[in-house]
Amino acid sequence: MRLSTKGHYGLKAMFDLAQHYGSEPIPLKSVAERQNLPEYYLEQIAAVLRKAGLVKSVRGAQGGYILARAPGDIKVGDVIRAMEGPIAPVECVSEFEPAECDNADYCITRSVWARVRDSIIQVLDSISLEDMCRDSEKLRPHRDKPEV
């Protein structure tokens, strides 16, 4: 019942970009440093996010990544689906393309997993990156200057 690091790191990266939304492109290197993620690995993750249309890239010096949409328009579920595929505790209740199952109609364990899936989806799709940024502001200890 574990998320892979792709989903884990992917969300951290997206959260980082959300916190910088509106400014210049953010290079992966700085994302990796702030979020404490392996830089080279993050490149792969960014590629997935870009192909999913969640971020845009700017190549060359002073380049980097920016969110493709406003933080309020990107849900945690979007990020996780991009990184991990359809949400499904077991294949036979996958959101999309549920695997065939001999006796799906009468399989009770299946209905249990469907309930788990729905409850996960409900949480993931109810939280936007903007929500996360807002919560972050509340939690962050007060300081004189914004940390860099």
Residue 84 CB neighbours (<10 A)? 16
Determine which residue in the list 60, 62, 108, 142 makes contact with a second copy, applying CB under 8 A.
Answer: 108
- CB 117 to a second copy: min, Å: 9
* 68/120 with CB nearer a second copy: 120
Residues 50-89, one symbol each (x = binds a second copy by CB under 8 A, - = not), give: --------------------------x---x---x--xxx
CA dist 2 and 64 (Å) reads: 30
Check binding of 7 to a second copy (CB under 8 A): yes
Cα distance between residue 1 and residue 126, in whole Å: 21
CB 84 within 8 A of CB 7: yes
